[in-house]
Amino acid sequence: EVELVESGGGLVQPGGSLRLSCAASGFTFSLYSMNWVRQAPGKGLEWVSYIGSSGDNTIHYVDSVKGRFIISRDSAKNSLFLQMNSLRDEDTALYFCVKGMGYCSGGSCYNWFDSWGQGTLVTVSS
């Protein structure tokens, strides 16, 4: 059974940094793309970042976090990370670690989100 367990959230002042971690188990972590998706309190879902499977260096970010957040993975430790710098009030949210599933065809890849962790809460406030 797939399990994704996030950690590292907390209260941080604007301009501060946090590093989120996600421990994955129950599947061959290196073979799958991974994502971070966030949900502000009482709001909907927002995709934040993508990292391809091991060996695929593809990384993407939503525009609002480009230059501030860095996604990475350690397949030896079955772990996903999100380094969050220069945090803003609007980054306050529950951050979910999400496993991608899908396929590639004609040079494009199509991935949906088939497993989600329970999330870790990041609160940015002075």
Task: Tell me how far apart the alpha carbons of residues 6 and 24 are, in angstroms, rounded to a whole number.
Answer: 9
Alpha-carbon 21 to chain mean position: 9
CB of 114 to another protein, least distance (A): 5
Exposure b/e, 44-74, CB count within 10 A at least 16 = b? eeeebbbbbbbeeeeeebeeebeeebebebe
Q: Which of 122, 121, 113 is nearest to 89 (CA)?
A: 122
Q: With respect to another protein, which residue has the nearer C-beta, 63 or 76? A: 63
In this chain, which of 27, 47, 54, 68 binds another protein, going by CB under 8 A? 47
- Give the x-and-dash track for 6-45 against another protein (CB under 8 A): -----------------------------x--------xx
Residues 6+ apart with CB under 8 A from 46: 37, 38, 39, 40, 62, 93
Which of 23, 62, 70, 121 contacts another protein by CB under 8 A?
Answer: 62
Of the candidates 27, 46, 53, 85, which one interacts with another protein according to CB under 8 A? 46
Residues 77-106 as x/- pattern, contact with another protein by CB under 8 A: -------------------x----xx----
**Which residues contact another protein (rule: CB under 8 A)?**
35, 44-47, 50, 60-63, 96, 101-102, 110-119
